[in-house]
């Protein structure tokens, strides 16, 4: 017999294949404690009534610290790994600054937004989520985009991702989603992959994840570079001005170089050729003085908009389309310096969502509320004690004064006799005092409602924005989403998991569901999953959600790989280098040997890569400066054949000399030259070729990846 649940919510039974679950008003699922199942308990043995929702005051109110089950669950999860980060273990960081464009005192009293042109020191950490520290850079995964701003009123950590939504609505489910995607505990693999049964079992039983799944299966999850991806604060925050007026805000980081991703086949080969591809790209850009830049953009809105918006602004699985609320730039972030020591700074940096400054405040987003607890707890374990703020990378750069003392590895020397407050000692020895005038004061929001474990009904629509995201993509991007789902689900060994996912995809888009079913060889689509609320099918597409609809049309920040052989035309090579440099790009030379070749002028052309160490997947476009005397040697080299066949399959622009046709013929594509092939007959052709490369890919190629 199933045990009776007393959770303060109304549930209905839903059947997904061979699994019976219960769905709450918000669409969350609960596996029933049927005959043969043990009842879930805390570590102390207390039975758990609800493992899906944190305790909060009112359905949309703040989380309550008395929720012992949530705190125990997160506490244990935070301490699973030592000393490596449990999530976001694989990453890279750099120093820089944030420069304010103009004051915005009407929106916030935050000090860094009060003076035009002011530069605030910053440290940024980019990362993957699922992989361990030694995993490869180009896993299909969410990318962390965490920014620490050392303001004059304390450190502000904007700890976000390159995707504006998340898998779950409540932080109590964070250990579950991460456990599901990490290595399976019995066999300790797969590593840095989501293509396995545990992950898709969890996702297929968690309808709230469907919007996030569309993003993760899109090209957003395999970015070409940290420099070419957006960042998002994910949650709704508050800005508060000096008069106490509150404005809701969502934070966006938009790259100055535009967006760019790789295709899946390319990502797989990059991971083999250079597992440090993203790290190396950021290192080379900063070391060469080509400093990456992003603009901080704000989506601001008031209570009236929040009430009128189709979805709940406190729901972290939802976004606000930029067509409805424009993202307005207020400053720029520039990365211009690397740490002197990776461990001392990048590995020991501690980001915490709780680190905010006067003028920036939290909303009641239940995922954000849980993160505020979790991050501080995590640093205690990872960095060995409460004094991790003494580390230079974590310490504020403004003056700080408090009575906190001692603890593991304390290395500040407090002076004087006062270590408590209030005290009657004078300013010389009495220490700091609180200040009602300039201290942090919390916006006096009034929560309503009883203490409950409950998702609000306003969180219940799990499919409409997933459909909107898919409909906003170009046909190329839609094909990639379908291909990704087919690949991932084909790695699931349990057919019922594939069936459950197809039942969800039916609620997102029937074309997508049919594409995935065809790819999996499933002849008959299952019935659509029973939605908690009827999905909206008329949400307008948003061009801001597509990468290709906002292409940069520029080769700035990109890399051209030039394959050369003996006797290569040095004048043509020189013009390619000049044209690429003028566009803001970089040229690297690939040759049969790393020693280089002798050019047409009798001088050595040094090479950056030997042909099998510099495959075309490492470059955004390629040029073949192949001569009649050199092509015969290339025909015998499999890496040379792979160089051109991969460039073709990955939709890259290919510049070629006439002698290159023999190599193209060898791989079977010389009779199909499309407009993505640009002849390089003379030096004057270089400029037009580089200009064509600004489109980044020639997507009209029919037989690509």
Other CB atoms within a 10 A radius of the CB of residue 600 amount to 16
Is 161 in the active site? Answer: yes
The pLDDT, as a whole number, for residue 487 is 98
The pLDDT, as a whole number, for residue 258 is 97
Q: How confident is the model at residue 17 (pLDDT cuts 50, 70, 90)?
A: very low
The pLDDT, as a whole number, for residue 322 is 98
Tell me if 273 sits within 8 A of 136, measured CB to CB.
no
Residue 617 CB partners (closer than 8 Å, separation 6+): 262, 266, 269, 270, 273, 646, 650
Q: How confident is the model at residue 703 (pLDDT cuts 50, 70, 90)?
A: low
Other CB atoms within a 10 A radius of the CB of residue 433 amount to 11
Q: What are phi and psi of 239, to 5 degrees?
A: -105, 140
Residue 436 CB partners (closer than 8 Å, separation 6+): none
Other CB atoms within a 10 A radius of the CB of residue 560 amount to 26
When pLDDT is averaged across residues 365-382 and rounded to a whole number, the result is 91
pLDDT, tens only, 159-217: 999 999 999 999 999 999 999 999 999 999 999 999 999 999 999 999 999 999 999 99
Other CB atoms within a 10 A radius of the CB of residue 361 amount to 19
What SS3 class is residue 554?
coil
Question: Looking at the predicted structure, is the pLDDT value of residue 11 above 50?
Answer: no
Spatial distance between the Cα atoms of 688 and 675, rounded to a whole number of angstroms: 13
Classify the phi-psi angles of 322: left when phi > 0, otherwise alpha if psi is within -120 to 50, otherwise beta.
Answer: alpha
Question: Looking at the predicted structure, is the pLDDT value of residue 125 above 90?
Answer: yes
Q: Give the chain's length.
A: 705
Question: Looking at the predicted structure, is the pLDDT value of residue 24 above 70?
Answer: no
pLDDT, tens only, 640-665: 999 999 999 999 999 999 999 999 99
Helix (H) or strand (E) holding 498: helix 495-508
Q: What are phi and psi of 467, to 5 degrees?
A: -65, -40
The pLDDT, as a whole number, for residue 6 is 33
- Of the listed ranges 229-233, 251-255, 447-451, 520-524, the one predicted with least confidence: 447-451
Is 88 in the active site? Answer: yes
Question: Looking at the predicted structure, is the pLDDT value of residue 429 above 80?
Answer: yes
Question: Looking at the predicted structure, is the pLDDT value of residue 638 above 60?
Answer: yes
Read off the pTM.
Answer: 0.90
pLDDT, tens only, 569-612: 999 999 999 999 999 999 999 999 999 999 999 999 999 999 99
Q: Which two tokens stand for residue 342?
A: 């990776």
Residue 43 CB partners (closer than 8 Å, separation 6+): 72, 76
Domains present along the chain, CATH in parentheses: 12-77 (4.10.91.20), 89-390 (2.40.180.10), 460-548 (1.20.1370.20), 553-693 (3.40.50.880)
Q: What are phi and psi of 444, to 5 degrees?
A: -80, 60
Which residue in the list 9, 53, 161, 387 is annotated as catalytic? 161
Tell me if 489 sits within 8 A of 498, measured CB to CB.
yes
The pLDDT, as a whole number, for residue 415 is 80
Cα four-point dihedral sign 300, 226, 222, 669: positive
- Of the listed ranges 31-40, 224-233, 628-637, the one predicted with least confidence: 31-40
Question: Looking at the predicted structure, is the pLDDT value of residue 30 above 70?
Answer: no
Q: Which of 34-48, 64-78, 451-465 has the highest mean pLDDT?
A: 451-465
Spatial distance between the Cα atoms of 387 and 337, rounded to a whole number of angstroms: 26
Spatial distance between the Cα atoms of 163 and 384, rounded to a whole number of angstroms: 31
* Per-residue burial over 464-480, b = 16 or more CB atoms within 10 Å of its CB, e = otherwise: bbbbbbbbbbeebbbeb
State the chain's mean pLDDT as an integer: 91
Helix axes 264-273, 638-649, angle to 10 degrees: 150
Q: What are phi and psi of 66, to 5 degrees?
A: -75, -5
When pLDDT is averaged across residues 684-700 and rounded to a whole number, the result is 96
The pLDDT, as a whole number, for residue 427 is 84
Which residue in the list 88, 95, 252, 504 is annotated as catalytic? 88
Q: Identify the burial level of 36 via C-beta atoms within 10 angstroms of its C-beta, where 0-12 means exposed, 13-18 middle and 19 or more buried.
A: exposed
Q: How confident is the model at residue 122 (pLDDT cuts 50, 70, 90)?
A: very high
The proportion of the chain whose per-residue pLDDT surpasses 90, expressed as a percent, equals: 77
Helix (H) or strand (E) holding 277: helix 277-287
Question: Looking at the predicted structure, is the pLDDT value of residue 7 above 60?
Answer: no
When pLDDT is averaged across residues 623-628 and rounded to a whole number, the result is 98
- Pick from 32, 80, 77, 81: nearest CA to 52: 32
Indicate the pairing of strand 654-656 with strand 621-625: parallel
Q: Which two tokens stand for residue 414?
A: 């407090």
Q: How confident is the model at residue 400 (pLDDT cuts 50, 70, 90)?
A: confident
Classify the phi-psi angles of 327: left when phi > 0, otherwise alpha if psi is within -120 to 50, otherwise beta.
Answer: beta
When pLDDT is averaged across residues 52-79 and rounded to a whole number, the result is 84
Long-range contacts (CB closer than 8 Å, 24 or more residues apart) made by 63-71? 63/171, 63/364, 63/366, 63/369, 63/370, 63/373, 64/451, 65/373, 68/42, 69/42, 69/172, 70/171, 70/172, 70/370, 71/373
């Amino acid at each position: 017999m199933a045990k009776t649940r007393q959770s303060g919510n109304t549930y209905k039974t839903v059947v997904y294949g061979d699994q019976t679950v219960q769905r709450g008003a918000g669409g969350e699922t609960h596996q029933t404690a049927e005959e043969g199942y043990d009842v879930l308990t805390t570590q102390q043995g207390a039975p758990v009534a609800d493992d899906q929702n944190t305790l909060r005051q009112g359905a949309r109110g703040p989380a309550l610290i008395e929720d012992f089950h949530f705190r125990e669950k997160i506490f244990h999860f935070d301490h699973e790994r030592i000393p490596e980060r449990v999530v976001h273990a694989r990453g890279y960081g750099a120093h820089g600054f944030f420069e304010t464009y103009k004051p915005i005192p009407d929106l916030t009293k935050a000090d860094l937004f009060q003076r035009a042109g002011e530069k605030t020191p910053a440290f940024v950490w980019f990362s993957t989520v699922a992989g361990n520290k030694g995993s490869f850079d180009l896993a299909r995964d969410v990318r962390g985009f965490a920014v620490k701003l050392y303001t004059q009123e304390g450190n502000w950590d904007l700890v976000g991702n390159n995707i504006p939504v998340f898998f779950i609505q409540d932080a109590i489910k964070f250990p579950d989603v991460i456990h599901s995607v990490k290595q399976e505990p019995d066999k300790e693999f797969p590593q840095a992959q989501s293509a396995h049964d545990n992950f898709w079992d969890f996702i297929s039983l968690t309808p709230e994840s469907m919007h996030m799944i569309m993003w993760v299966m899109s090209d957003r999850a395999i970015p070409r570079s940290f420099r070419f991806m957006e960042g998002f604060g994910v949650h709704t925050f508050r800005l508060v001005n000096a008069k106490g007026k509150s404005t809701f805000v969502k934070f966006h980081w938009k790259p100055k170089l535009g967006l760019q991703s790789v295709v899946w086949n390319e990502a797989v080969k990059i991971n083999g050729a250079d597992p440090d591809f993203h790290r190396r790209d950021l290192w080379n850009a900063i070391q060469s003085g080509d400093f990456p830049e992003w603009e901080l953009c704000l989506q601001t809105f008031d209570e009236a908009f929040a009430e009128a918006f189709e979805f709940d602004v406190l729901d972290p699985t939802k976004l606000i389309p930029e067509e409805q609320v424009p993202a307005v730039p207020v400053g720029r972030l520039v990365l211009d310096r690397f740490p002197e020591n990776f461990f001392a700074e990048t590995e020991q940096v501690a980001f915490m969502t709780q680190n905010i400054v006067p003028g920036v405040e939290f909303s009641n987003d239940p995922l954000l509320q849980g993160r505020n607890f979790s991050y501080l707890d995590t640093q205690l374990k990872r960095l060995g004690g409460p004094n991790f703020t003494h580390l230079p990378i974590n310490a504020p750069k403004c003056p700080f004064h408090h009575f906190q003392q001692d603890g593991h590895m304390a290395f500040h020397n407090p002076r004087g006799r006062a270590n408590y407050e209030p005290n009657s000692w004078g300013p010389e020895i009495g220490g700091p005092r609180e200040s009602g005038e300039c201290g942090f004061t919390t916006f006096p929001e009034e929560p309503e409602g009883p203490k409950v474990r409950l998702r609000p009904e306003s969180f219940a629509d799990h499919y409409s924005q997933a459909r909107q995201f898919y409909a906003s993509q170009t046909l190329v991007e839609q094909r990639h989403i379908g291909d990704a789902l087919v690949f991932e689900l084909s790695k699931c060994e349990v057919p019922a998991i594939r069936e459950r996912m197809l039942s969800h995809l039916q609620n997102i888009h029937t074309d997508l569901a049919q594409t995935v079913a065809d790819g999996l060889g499933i002849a008959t689509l299952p019935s659509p999953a029973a939605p908690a609320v009827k999905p909206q099918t008329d949400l307008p597409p948003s061009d801001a959600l597509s990468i290709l609809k906002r292409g940069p049309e520029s080769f700035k920040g990109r890399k051209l790989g030039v394959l050369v052989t003996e006797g290569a035309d040095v004048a043509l090579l020189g013009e390619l280098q000049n044209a690429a440099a003028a566009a803001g790009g970089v040229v690297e030379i690939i040759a049969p040997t790393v020693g280089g070749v002798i050019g047409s002028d009798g001088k050595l052309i040094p090479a950056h890569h030997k042909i099998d160490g510099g495959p075309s997947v490492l470059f955004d476009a390629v040029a073949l400066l192949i001569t009649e005397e050199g092509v015969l040697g290339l025909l015998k080299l499999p890496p040379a054949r792979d160089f051109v066949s991969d460039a073709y399959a990955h939709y890259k622009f290919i510049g070629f000399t006439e002698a290159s046709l023999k190599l193209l013929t060898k791989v079977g594509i010389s009779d199909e030259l499309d407009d993505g092939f640009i002849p390089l007959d003379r030096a004057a052709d270089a400029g037009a070729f580089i200009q064509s490369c600004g489109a980044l890919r020639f997507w009209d190629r029919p037989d690509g990846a």
